[in-house]
Structure formats: C-alpha cells, structure tokens
A = this chain, B = another copy of it.
Amino acid sequence: MAVYTEVTDEELASFVATYDIGAVLSAKGIAEGVENSNFLLHTEAGFFILTLYEKRVHEEDLPFFIGLMEHLAARGITCPQPVKNRRGEALGRLAGRPAAIVTFLDGMWVKRPGPAHCAGVGEALAKLHEAGADFPMRRPNALSLPSWRPLFEQADGRADEVSPGLARRTLEALAELERDWPDGLPEGVIHADLFTDNVFFLGGRLSGLIDFYFACTDALAYDLAVCLNAWCFEADGSFNLTKGQAMIAAYERVRRLTDAEVAALPVLCRGAAIRFMLTRLVDWLNVPPGALVKPKDPLEYDRKLGFHRRVASAADYGLKR
C-alpha cells in the first residue's frame, strides 16, 4: 500500500485543468501498488486513476508503457486507457513526478484463485500476446537473465541471514540458468508481472488487466512462466496441477506453444522464480526505516524455484500433448 508523493489540491486542480474531464471533485490515495502513487480521481466527467510515477519507474520507459496500453485497449484488451490532455499528450508532470490519468476499471483481484481464474488468466495472456504482436516499440526486459547475478550481488553475502543455504541454492540455480537459458523463442510484448493483484474479475469472469509498468519485449512463454509461478501454487508451497492445466490449456486455445517453448517451459519457470526471489531478497534486505510497504517474502520464490528444479518437463505443469 503506498502513496509516496503528496499532491496539494492546488497542484492537482491545475493538472486536471489541462484535461477535458471537468473539475476535480475528489482524489483519494489508493492503498495498492508498490511502485507508484495511485489516486482514485473523481471529476465532473467520472472516475479515473491518477498515477504518479515514482523513482523505480524510469521516465524514458513511460512512452512504451502508455503507448502499449493505448495499443492494447484499441485491440480489445480491457486495460486502463490513458486519457490525453488538451495537447494530445497522455503523460504530464505533477508534484515533480511524471503523471498520467487512465480510465477506471471495475473488477476485483482474487485473493484465492481457483482453476477457472487460472484459465481466465491463460486466455487473457495469450490474447495480450496476440494483440501486442504489431506494437512497434521495443523495450528490453531489464529483469531478465543478465540482471540476476548483479541482483544477487546486491544481496551482498546476506542471503543466508534470510534462510540458511539460500546463497548456495541461488548460485547453483543461477549457474544452471546461465547454462540453459533458451535463445530464439518467439518474442513480443509481455506483461512480465501478471500477479493476482494485477488481474480483475467480475462475477467470476476476467474483467481487466492492470499495471503494465514491467511490460517489455521478451519471450512470450516467459510470461506464461511468470503466471504459472504467480497463480498455480498453493499456500503450502505445492504446485496445483489442475490450475496449471487450466491455465496452459486456455492459453493454447488462443495461441499454441511451439515445441521449443514447450521444451523451455521448465527453465523459463526457474528463471521467473529466481527473478522474483531476487528482487524480493534485495527489497527484504533493504527495507528503509519508516517504510510504508511491507516487503514480500523472498523465500516463497526460493521454494517455488526448488519445485521447478525438480521438474522433468512441461507435462509437470499440466501441458497436455
């Protein structure tokens, strides 16, 4: 939960006055999202989300994120639509931060997803990949293989403080990943962070995707690996094969995985697990005093990594061929 930047009512009124959405009636900080400050904005034209981009988001990446949301929304993906100001720009500045207003999406994220939710996510992910196919901009994945060893080095020898053996396990997995990481898989726009809190449902049906601020150009199947990690494990750490089957089958009904993607799925899952383990570990070891956000547990992804390292093939995730 987070609002990092305070906005005065005068600043907000001047900012909103550059848009064609009427006067501000209300603005409430939202206790969700870890990276940016989000406000639910009510104006004479309706409800919107106002986002102030905080330091973790690089300003030069914002045109990619904003452009992608516009591109996807135009192709029928239900995601926040950037609202343009009177000069036709979707990106402005507020309280010293880059800022954007996007449409408000109804829906709730599910705390306990079932197989039907996992199927919804698989289908939406494949549709997102298809819709992104002709998106003209590129953004390398800043949190892929080349970033993982430097991230681990930021943990600075303190990994074993979090869990004995974590350093050794991570170094082993890193060496395997550096040896086995696939090349030449089908690439395109990926969400790269499609966790449960970024997917809205209404009445059991997926109603929207949000938070495109890790989106980038990378192997499409890596995005599926992120989702298998985020959606298909139980609280006790076990992988739920029913959920995996539901997600993969729904994905493949829209976009069939290539043989190379199928073969690579286990290593992609290991990669996705280590990516989230490492960023969580670095955050865990660097909680600033007075932090407003509780760090997420890196060991959840250490345990998932352990599962993936024992996996023999994509069938273990529920893929049926």
Chain A residues within 8 Å of B, Cβ to Cβ: 1-3, 6, 8-10, 12, 23-32, 40, 42, 47, 104-112, 200-203, 290, 292, 294
Indicate if the CB atoms of B23 and A28 lie closer than 8 Å: no
Q: Assess the A29–B27 pair: CB atoms within 8 A.
A: no
* Residue from B29, B42, B111 within 8 A of A9 (CB atoms): B111
Other than the given A1-B2, A9-B201, A31-B31, 20 more pairs (CB < 8 A) read A3-B31, A6-B111, A8-B111, A9-B109, A9-B111, A25-B106, A25-B107, A26-B105, A26-B106, A26-B200, A28-B30, A28-B31, A28-B32, A29-B30, A29-B31, A29-B32, A30-B40, A47-B47, A292-B292, A292-B294
The interface residues of chain A, by DSSP majority, are classed as: loop
Known A47-B47, A111-B9; judge A1-B106 contact (CB<8 A): no
- Shortest distance in angstroms between A40's beta carbon and chain B's nearest beta carbon? 6
Decide: A1 and B42 in contact? CB cutoff 8 A.
no
Residues in B whose Cβ lies below 8 Å from that of A40: 28, 30, 40
- CA gap between A147 and B32 in the complex, in Å: 36
How many chain copies does the complex carry? 2
CA distance A26 to B3 in the complex (A): 19
- Please report the C-alpha to C-alpha distance between residue A111 and residue B6 in the assembled complex, in whole angstroms: 9
Determine if B107 and A31 form an interchain contact, defined as CB atoms under 8 angstroms apart.
Answer: no
**In the bound complex, how far is the Cα of B1 from the Cα of A112, in angstroms?**
25
Docked-complex contact A110 and B29, CB < 8 angstroms: no
- Measured between C-beta atoms, what is the minimum distance from A268 to chain B in Å? 30
- Report the minimal beta-carbon distance from A293 to chain B, rounded to whole angstroms: 9
Q: Which chain B residue has the least Cβ–Cβ distance from A287?
A: B290
Taking the nearest CB of chain B, how far is it from the CB of A190, in angstroms? 26
Residue of B nearest to A29 (CB): B31
Give the CA-CA distance A32 to B27 in the complex, in Å: 11
Given A1-B3, A3-B1, A25-B107, decide whether A112 and B8 contact each other with a Cβ distance below 8 A. yes
Nearest chain B residue, comparing its CB with the CB of A294: B290
A26 to B201, CA, bound (A): 9
- Residues of B near A109 (CB, < 8 A) are 9
Partner of A292, one of B1, B8, B29: B1
In contact, B106 and A9 (Cβ under 8 angstroms): no
CA distance A8 to B42 in the complex (A): 25
**Whole-angstrom distance between the alpha carbons of A24 and B109 in the complex?**
12
A31 touches which one: B25, B30, B201, B294 (CB < 8 A)?
B30
**Which chain B residues lie closer than 8 Å to A28 at the CB level?**
30-32, 40
| A58 → B minimal CB distance (Å) | 24
User: A32 CB to closest chain B CB, in angstroms?
Assistant: 6
A8 to B109, CA, bound (A): 9
28 residue pairs bridging A and B, Cβ less than 8 Å apart: A1-B1, A1-B2, A1-B3, A1-B29, A1-B31, A1-B292, A2-B31, A8-B112, A9-B109, A9-B110, A12-B108, A23-B203, A24-B108, A25-B106, A25-B107, A26-B105, A26-B106, A26-B108, A27-B108, A28-B30, A28-B32, A28-B40, A29-B30, A30-B40, A40-B40, A42-B47, A47-B47, A292-B292
